Amino acid sequence: MTEPPSRVCVLGSVNVDTTYRVPQIPALGETVLAVQRTVAPGGKGANQAVAAANMGSRVTFIGCTGSDPEAELAIASLVRHDVDVSQLRAVTDAPTGTAVLIVDERGENVIVVDAGANQRLDPALVSAHLSSTSYDVVLAQLEINLDAVVSAATSRGSAAFILNPAPMKADHGTFRDLLAQTDVLVPNRPELARLAGRPLPTDQDALDRCVGQLEFGGVVVVTLGSAGVAVYERGPARRPTLIEAVRVESVDTTGAGDTFCGVLGHFMAQHGDVTRAACQANEMAALSTTVYGAQVPAGLFTSSGPRPASAAPDRLT
């Protein structure tokens, strides 16, 4: 008998990304010429929804757009990936979120976001929907208004709540209430450092200290880019399981963290084993960097994928 699809709700941003490909990221005060410019759907929330849907979850997206051509482009992509957009609202007095991305020859990027309508999500609508619909996993980021995220965390019922604290603006004092409602926290290194109020961790001990500083009782999954992933499961020992990076020919790392979160959400909904889910997400996130754009085509995820590298580096940079 086939298993029913896992049910994932993603609450988050939906943007239109303008990407400039450049030989190298410009230094302060420097001007560089782009070799290519593309306009494509993005937004951390939408990217994560697409990744979970690509894996086979039934995904509902909660978000807010403007009433403009950008909204049409962004929504068309969600619909194409079979994401349920019935909880996506449009406002008339704010534009759809947009982002400018600069991607260098190694696939590394810098991003600036104008959140626009993403900051206009109504917390009451969020809680009304989540109180009346059950999910296996609710997944959120911080590119939308914080009260909507808190509303999702407190009204998710029996669903596991996964928080990707991106972008991270403050330390954990601001997010104390939200963290108390969170089952799985998925920061990258800078986000973890910011949350912990500590310097950027560059070795394992520093990483452990940052996680300890959070005083967070749930699972912490730290994405480390080329150094892989560290999973701190619940419990007193708090020693991480290290998952090796997957070596691929990366052309664009944009949205790799989003793919990781979406795939993690899918597998958490499916089997609930966070370390196993993180291994699976790690493979798919690596694979996503072999193509351009933040929302990867569904077909990419049906391939067998690359194998893990043999050793994780000592340093985390």
Would you count residue 66 as binding ligand RIB (CB under 6 A)? no
As measured in angstroms, the least distance from the Cβ of 152 to ligand RIB is 18
DSSP state of 99: E
Would you count residue 261 as binding ligand RIB (CB under 6 A)? no
Peptide bond connecting 5 to the previous residue in cis, omega within 30 degrees of 0: no
Contact flags string 190-209 toward ligand RIB, x per CB under 6 A: --------------------
Residue-wise DSSP of 260-310: HHHHHHHHHHHT--HHHHHHHHHHHHHHHTTSSSSS--GGGGGS--PPBPS
- Tokens linked to 183: 């089952």
Would you count residue 240 as binding ligand RIB (CB under 6 A)? no
Residue-wise DSSP of 22-67: -SSPPPTT-----SEEEEEEE-HHHHHHHHHHHHT-EEEEEEEE-S
- Tokens linked to 301: 């995820």
Among 117, 294, 312, 316, binds ligand RIB (CB under 6 A): 294
CA distance 271 to 267: 6
As measured in angstroms, the least distance from the Cβ of 74 to ligand RIB is 10
The count of chain residues that interact with ligand RIB, using the rule CB under 6 A, is: 16
Rounded to 10 deg, the angle between the 274-288 and 44-55 helix axes is 110
Q: Most distant CA pair in the chain: distance in Å? A: 61
CA distance 164 to 105: 27
Would you count residue 99 as binding ligand RIB (CB under 6 A)? yes
Would you count residue 44 as binding ligand RIB (CB under 6 A)? yes
The answer for residues whose C-beta is within 8 angstroms of residue 140's C-beta and 6 or more apart is 10, 11, 12, 45, 149, 152, 153, 161, 162, 163, 164
Closest to ligand RIB by CB, 186 or 312: 186
Closest to ligand RIB by CB, 119 or 213: 119
Among 8, 43, 87, 253, binds ligand RIB (CB under 6 A): 43
Closest to ligand RIB by CB, 39 or 124: 39
- Which residues participate in catalysis according to the annotation? 258
Closest to ligand RIB by CB, 101 or 231: 101
Contact flags string 108-137 toward ligand RIB, x per CB under 6 A: ---x-x------------------------
| Sign of the CA dihedral running 50, 55, 60, 62 | negative
Would you count residue 258 as binding ligand RIB (CB under 6 A)? yes
Which one of the spans 24-32, 42-50, 190-198, 235-243 is the region binding ligand RIB (CB under 6 A)?
A: 42-50
Would you count residue 70 as binding ligand RIB (CB under 6 A)? no
Would you count residue 17 as binding ligand RIB (CB under 6 A)? yes
Residue numbers of the site for ligand RIB (CB under 6 A)? Answer: 13, 15, 17, 42-44, 47, 99, 111, 113, 143, 254-255, 257-258, 294
